[in-house]
Amino acid sequence: MPEAETINATDVVLRVENLKKFFPVRKGVFSRVRSFLHAVDDLSFEIRRGEVLALVGESGCGKTTTGKTLVRLHEPTDGKIEFLGRDVTHLRLAADKKWFHSKSQMIFQDPFESLNPRKTIFDIVSEPMNIQSEGSLKYREEKTMEILKRVGISPPDAFLWRYPHELSGGQRQRVAIARALVMNPEFVVADEPTSMLDVSIRTQVMKLMMNLISEMNMSFLYITHDLAVARYMSNYISVMYLGKMVEYGETEEIIQNPLHPYTKALISAVPVPDPEFKRKSIQIKGGIGKAIDPLPRCRFYDRCPYAMDVCANEEPQLTDVGNGHKVACFLYTKKEE
C-alpha cells in the first residue's frame, strides 16, 4: 500500500453515482431481447487524487465492465460519472471526448493482445499523442523515449523501432503502461495488469506502477481477483459480487476486519506463508452465477452460509457501519424479527 505521506488525497478526481451497465440477452429465432444482464448495478464511489481503489471479486462479477464503463469503452445504462468536476456520463461532442480521453486511460490484462503486432514500439506508445495531435514528430519521439525510460525499457532508443513480438511479456506490459501514461493522465484503470506475467516479474511491475502512481500523483482503479495484490497496491478496497458492491473501506480495515461473508471467504482463501498459522476457513457453495434479471434479494443468498429468511425477500443496501466501512449484508444492517 502507498505510504500515507506520499498521497496528497484531497480532491476528488472521479465521482460515480448509481452507475449501471446492463446488457440485453437475446434469445429465440428472432433474437429478441428477453432479459438483461445486470453487469454493473448501482455502484457509487469516489476516487481522490493519488488514491488507488482496488476492485476485487471473482471473474464475472462485473469488475472489467465497471472499468470499461468508467473510461467510456461502454456507454452507461444509467447513473452519473463526474470526472474532475465535469459530468462525463454522456460524451457527445468530439472536443469533450478528446479532453476526456487525454486524461483517462486503461491498461489491459493481456500484453500479448493489447499491443498491435504490426506497429513498432514508437507507433504504439506515441499513438495517444497522435490522436490528440500533440507536438511535432521530434517532440513525440523525445516524449516516447522519456516514458519508456521511466517504465524501465532501457536504453529506450534500442527499443523504439522494434515490434511487440521481439519483447518479453514483462517488457510488453511495461510498453502498455508507457502508452497509458504518455499523456500524463489523471485517472487510469488497470485491469489485472500483472495476472498474465510470470510470478518473478509480477512484483517488479507492481513496484513500478506504485512508483509511477506516487511520482505522477495519479488516481487508479486497480482491478484484481487477488486480495494480496489489492492489499499491496491500494488505499481502499471495494468488493464486488454479481454487479453489486458488497463491501467498501480502507484497505487494512477490509483485510483485518472483513464483514461480508463473501469478503471473509475471499480472505480465508488467501494462502498464508506460515505453517503454524490457523485461520477460520469460510466455505461458500457453488460458483458465481449470472445476474440476469436478478430477483430483489441478496445476490449472495444461494451461496451464503449465514443466509436468513429476510435475505431471500429483500435486497441489502450498502450501509456505513462506522469509519467509512460500508457493507451490504443484513447481518449488520438488520436484525431478524
**What does the angle CA 43 – CA 114 – CA 125 come to, to the nearest 5 degrees?**
105
- Return d(Cα 319, Cα 326) in angstroms, integer: 5
- Alpha-carbon distances of 6 from 130, 133, 134, 213, 225, rounded to whole Å: 32, 33, 30, 10, 26
Q: How many CB atoms lie within 10 A of CB 259?
A: 21
Among 72-80, 138-146, 197-205, 300-308, the segment contacting ligand SF4 (CB under 6 A)? 300-308
The secondary element (H helix, E strand) that includes residue 98 is helix 94-103
175 sits near ligand SF4 (criterion: CB under 6 A):
no
Stretch that binds ligand SF4, among 174-182, 231-239, 272-280, 293-301 (CB under 6 A): 293-301
Q: Count the site residues for ligand SF4 by CB under 6 A.
A: 14
In whole angstroms, how close is the CB of 311 to ligand SF4 at the nearest point? 3
CB atoms within 10 A of CB 296: 8
**2 near ligand SF4 (CB under 6 A):** no
For residues 205 and 194, give the distance between their C-alpha atoms in angstroms, rounded to a whole number: 7
Looking at the Cβ atoms of 54 and 265, the one nearer to ligand SF4 is 265
Residue 330 makes contact with ligand SF4 by CB under 6 A: yes
Enumerate residues 68-87 that contact ligand SF4 by CB under 6 A: none
Of 300, 318, 325, 326, the one binding ligand SF4 (CB under 6 A) is: 300
Residues 215-274 interacting with ligand SF4 (rule: CB under 6 A)? 260-261
- 219 beta partners: 187
Is 197 or 298 the residue whose CB approaches ligand SF4 more closely? 298
Q: Using the rule CB under 6 A, which residue among 306, 309, 313, 324 binds ligand SF4?
A: 306
Least separation, in Å, of the C-beta of 262 and ligand SF4?
A: 7
Alpha carbon distances (Å) from 281 to 57, 268, 278: 18, 5, 9
- Tell me if 106 sits within 8 A of 191, measured CB to CB: yes
Using the rule CB under 6 A, which residue among 236, 316, 318, 326 binds ligand SF4?
316
Say if CB 290 and CB 60 are below 8 A apart: yes
Of 81, 240, 304, 318, the residue at the interface with ligand SF4 (CB under 6 A) is 304
Least Cα distance to 298 among 308, 312, 285, 288 occurs for 312
Instruction: CB nearer to ligand SF4: give 16 or 327.
Output: 327
Q: Does 321 bind ligand SF4 (CB under 6 A)?
A: no
Q: Write out the residues near ligand SF4 by the rule CB under 6 A.
A: 260-261, 298, 300-301, 304, 306-308, 311, 316, 329-331
